[in-house]
């Protein structure tokens, strides 16, 4: 027998037609001698009915348990009046069963296979193949499929060519830790799993494939959290003969199609553009959520010469005093404020000052340190109304922005200021090209060393190359031709215009204090390629897991990945990572640890 339809596809118009369905028994109910079951597959549920007039079939149906795999044939019929279920798409019809094949029995599952399951994540990950039967995960995985196929089709229409790049490649010192793979044929040598296809997609531009894309698996051996996995997927693309605006236009057209396919809503674009400096100044983060206000204010001028030494010393020592006002925050209890202060200390702040603005005036332990005119200036700068509270952080800018950026989101969630069902895309651009590593006394690339600085900064870079390599101020004003796409406060992708001349790439390596012999050892093949007529090029990588998680309303990317790892990088279902045999290690030239498989 051949399946004629999926369970979730049956509607009123199928009434009277014979159907053959396959799936799992979701539930069963015996109502006055008539046996009802819900049959489930990846498309949804359909009610099937066993009537007692077919005693042989009825007795066989009584053997059915939850998650039994069956194939049934029968005629679809409209449900009797009063029994229709508007909660499900198939709620107007049922199938009166005329034949039943039990294809496989099932043990009682360790948790309920439904959207109401209360099983913990560890149990669900251990039995992930059962967890994937649940409707919420099936919905997420199917949405991921639609989005991925839409992106592929959209990029193909834009003239991109899908090309696969190597999984076994060369370890490089920049970025996160590599996952290393020992080579049996070259003892003592290792491959690395790619953190991204970065170098290979640049080589493809040199090769003349001017529009490349790939749905790429990437690997990073780093500490995990809700939006990170040791292996993840990104939609990777690269283009030749383009500038930032052209790359962003293509990306936005593709993202717009994916958004429409996922949600059925029109894309809320085009996305506005914001510089990195503006994003930090207004929101304290380079991935701001612009669905709500709570913007940061600068109080440095208002309090720089005040009697409150925590503020005045911070300004005098080159720091800043900034804060934000929370509507109706004056209702916060002292315990809530103390908890916020302790939380801010864990982020590196030396305290969290505050002032409540009430009908009786300003209330706070720090009010006594200010003149009435100073308090009035602070309130004007805070744009605070009666019943609000203003929080302050005084420190170096990096600490201030980090604490206030996270406090802003926490307060928005606490005060329910984030509008439901709203989508805000944003391009953030003109990032710093370099960041100073105080411990190593050197500059590092903010993105990666292949990102091109702004054209107007090359003269400064050439001048800096001849100066003291440990000069902290020489490169702090240089801006990169880099851009991130942010959705609702989450960076979903980023890219840059690349360096396409070998001499310019050598200059950047010199500024980063990467010795010529090290650069040649690690990146020689790229430097060679750039010397053979590399075109100007740039690209982008969309974090597919993060993007899908946002579209599905999930807080963790694990809920949109079929077989994810735990926060410790463990596959609880398969038991990976695991020991291997001593023979396998010997073949790889690796000394066995104390515990290996026999």
Three-state secondary structure of 21-60:
EEEEEEEEEEECCEEEEEEEECCEEEEEEECCCCHHHHHH
- Residues facing residue 273 across a β-bridge: 427
CA distance 357 to 297: 16
Residue 471 has pLDDT above 90, yes or no: no
63 found inside a domain:
yes
Residues 252 and 342 in one domain: no
pLDDT level of residue 596 (50, 70, 90 thresholds): low
Q: Are 95 and 19 in contact, with CB atoms under 8 Å apart?
A: yes
**pLDDT 10s digits, 148-159:** 999 999 999 999
Range of the domain at 312: 292-418
The proportion of the chain whose per-residue pLDDT surpasses 90, expressed as a percent, equals 86
Overall average pLDDT of the 556-582 stretch: 94
Burial 103-126 (b: 16+ CB within 10 A, else e): eeeeeeeeeebeeebebeeeebbb
Is residue 206 within 8 Å of residue 530, measured between CB atoms? yes
Tokens of 131: 């967890």
Q: Do residues 47 and 143 share a domain? A: no
pLDDT tens profile 388-427: 999 999 999 999 999 999 999 999 999 999 999 999 999 9
- pLDDT band (50, 70, 90) for residue 598: low
Token reading at 493: 């992708």
Considering the domain architecture, whether residues 301 and 411 belong to the same structural domain is answered as: yes
Helix (H) or strand (E) holding 250: helix 244-263
Q: How confident is the model over 481-501, as pLDDT tens digits?
A: 999 999 999 999 999 999 999
pLDDT of residue 551: 97
Chain centroid to CA 246:
24
Q: What is the mean pLDDT of residues 323-340?
A: 96
Domain termination residue (choose one: 57, 88, 104): 104
Distance CA 592, CA 583 (A): 9
Q: How many CB atoms lie within 10 A of CB 403?
A: 24
Both 157 and 203 in one domain: the answer is yes
> 200 and 243 share a domain?
yes
CA distance 212 to 198: 12
The structure tokens listed for 375 are: 């308090």
CATH number of the structural domain spanning residue 204: 3.30.930.10
Angle between helices 198-206 and 516-530 (to 10 degrees): 40
Is the domain of 302 the same as that of 405? yes
Does 173 score more than 80 pLDDT?
Answer: no
Decide: 382 and 398 in contact? Cβ < 8 Å. no
Same domain as 327, residue 256: no
537-543 and 231-240 as β-strands: parallel, antiparallel, unpaired? antiparallel
Whether residue 341 is contained in a domain is answered as yes
Q: Quote the pLDDT of residue 220.
A: 92
Average pLDDT over residues 462-475: 71
pLDDT confidence of residue 440:
84
User: pLDDT tens digit string along 102-129?
Assistant: 999 999 999 999 998 989 999 999 999 9
Average model confidence (pLDDT) across the chain: 94
Question: Do residue 171 and residue 235 come from a single domain?
Answer: yes
Q: Do 151 and 254 touch, CB atoms closer than 8 A?
A: yes
Task: Report yes or no on 595 lying in a domain.
Answer: no
Q: Which residue shows structure tokens 């980090």?
A: 402
Answer yes or no: is pLDDT of 595 > 70: no
In a domain, 489, yes or no: no
- Residue 532: pLDDT band (50, 70, 90) is very high
Identify whether 281 is part of a domain. Answer: no
Residues 454, 513, single domain; the answer is yes
In this structure, the number of other CB atoms found within 10 A of the CB of residue 436 comes to 17
In a domain, 591, yes or no: no
According to the model, what pLDDT value does residue 597 have?
Answer: 59
Residue 580 lies in a domain: no
Q: Does pLDDT of 470 surpass 70?
A: no
Cα–Cα–Cα angle for 55, 59, 64, rounded to 5 degrees: 145
Given 3-state DSSP classes, what are the helix, strand and coil percentages for the chain, each rounded to the nearest 5? 35, 25, 40
pLDDT of residue 468: 60
Q: Are residues 396 and 437 in the same domain?
A: no
Last residue of a domain, one of 370, 391, 418: 418
| pLDDT reading at 523 higher than 80 | yes
Average pLDDT over residues 212-225: 91
524 within a domain of the structure (yes/no): yes
Measured CA distances, 259 to 76, 251, 269 (Å): 35, 12, 11
Q: Is the pLDDT of residue 369 over 90?
A: yes
pLDDT for res 176: 80
Q: What domain count does the chain have?
A: 4
Both 299 and 367 in one domain: the answer is yes
Which whole number is the average pLDDT over 528-547?
97
Of 492, 511, 534, the domain-final residue:
534
Residue 244 pLDDT greater than 90, yes or no: yes
Return all residues near 264 (Cβ < 8 A) that are at least 6 apart. Answer: none
**Burial of 6: CB neighbours in 10 Å, binned 0-12, 13-18, 19+:** middle
Strand partners, 435: 444
Q: How confident is the model at residue 225 (pLDDT cuts 50, 70, 90)?
A: confident
- Please confirm whether the linkage preceding 270 is cis (ω < 30° from 0): yes
What is the mean pLDDT of the segment spanning 352-367? Answer: 95
513 plus 557 within the same structural domain: no
Strand 211-219 to strand 161-162: parallel, antiparallel, or no bridges (unpaired)?
parallel
Strand order in the sheet with 353-358: 297-298, 320-326, 389-395, 353-358, 361-363
Assign 226 a pLDDT band (cuts: 50, 70, 90): low
């Amino acid at each position: 027998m051949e399946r004629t339809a999926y369970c979730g596809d049956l509607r009123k118009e199928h009434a009277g037609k014979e159907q053959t369905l396959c799936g799992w028994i979701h539930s069963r109910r015996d109502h006055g001698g008539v046996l009802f079951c819900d049959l489930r597959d990846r498309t949804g549920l359909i009610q099937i009915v066993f009537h007692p007039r077919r005693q042989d079939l009825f007795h066989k149906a009584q053997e059915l348990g939850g998650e039994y795999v069956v194939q049934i044939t029968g005629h679809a019929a409209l449900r009797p009046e009063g029994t229709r279920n508007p909660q499900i798409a198939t709620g107007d019809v049922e199938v009166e069963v005329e034949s039943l094949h039990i294809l496989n029995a099932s043990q009682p599952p360790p948790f309920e296979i439904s959207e109401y399951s209360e099983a913990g994540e560890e149990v669900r990950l251990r039995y992930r193949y059962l967890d994937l039967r649940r409707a919420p995960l099936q919905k997420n995985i199917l949405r991921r499929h639609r989005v991925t196929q839409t992106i592929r089709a959209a990029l193909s229409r834009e003239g991109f060519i899908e090309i696969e790049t190597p999984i076994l490649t060369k370890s490089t010192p920049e970025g996160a830790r590599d996952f290393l793979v020992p080579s049996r044929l070259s003892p003592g040598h290792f491959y690395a799993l790619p953190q991204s296809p970065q170098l290979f997609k640049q080589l493809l531009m040199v090769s003349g494939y001017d529009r490349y894309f790939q749905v790429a698996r990437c690997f990073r051996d780093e500490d995990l959290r809700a939006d990170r996995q040791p292996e993840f997927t990104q939609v990777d693309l690269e283009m030749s003969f383009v500038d930032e605006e052209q790359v962003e236009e293509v990306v936005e057209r593709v993202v717009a199609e994916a958004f429409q396919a996922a949600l059925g809503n029109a894309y809320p674009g085009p996305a506005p553009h914001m510089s990195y400096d503006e994003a930090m100044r207004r929101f304290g983060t380079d991935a701001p959520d612009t669905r709500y206000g709570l913007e940061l204010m600068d109080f440095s001028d208002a309090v720089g010469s005040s009697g409150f030494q925590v503020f005045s010393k911070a300004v005098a020592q080159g720091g800043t005093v900034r804060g934000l006002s929370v509507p109706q925050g004056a209702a916060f209890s002292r315990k809530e404020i103390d908890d916020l202060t302790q939380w801010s200390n864990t982020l590196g702040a030396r305290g969290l000052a505050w002032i409540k603005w009430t009908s009786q005036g300003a209330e706070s332990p720090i009010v006594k340190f200010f003149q009435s005119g100073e308090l009035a200036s602070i309130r004007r700068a805070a744009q605070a109304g009666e019943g609000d509270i203003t929080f302050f952080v005084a420190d170096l800018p990096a600490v201030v922005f980090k604490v206030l950026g996270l406090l802003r989101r926490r307060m928005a969630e606490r005060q329910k200021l984030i509008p439901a069902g709203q989508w805000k895309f944003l391009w953030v651009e003109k990032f710093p090209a370099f960041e100073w590593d105080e411990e190593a006394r050197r500059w590092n690339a903010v993105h990666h060393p292949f990102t091109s600085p702004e054209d107007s900064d090359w003269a400064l870079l050439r001048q800096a190359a001849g100066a003291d390599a440990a000069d902290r101020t020489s490169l702090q004003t240089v801006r990169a031709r880099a851009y991130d796409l942010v959705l609702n406060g989450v960076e979903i992708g980023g890219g840059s215009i690349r360096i396409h001349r070998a001499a310019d790439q050598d200059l950047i390596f010199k500024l980063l204090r990467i010795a010529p012999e090290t650069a040649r050892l690690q990146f020689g093949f790229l430097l060679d390629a750039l010397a053979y007529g590399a075109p100007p090029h740039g690209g982008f990588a969309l974090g597919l897991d993060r993007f899908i998680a946002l579209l599905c309303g999930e807080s963790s990317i694990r809920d949109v990945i079929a077989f994810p790892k735990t926060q410790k990088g463990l596959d609880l279902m398969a038991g990976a990572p695991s020991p291997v045999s001593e023979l396998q290690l010997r073949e790889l030239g690796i000394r066995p640890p104390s515990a290996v498989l026999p």
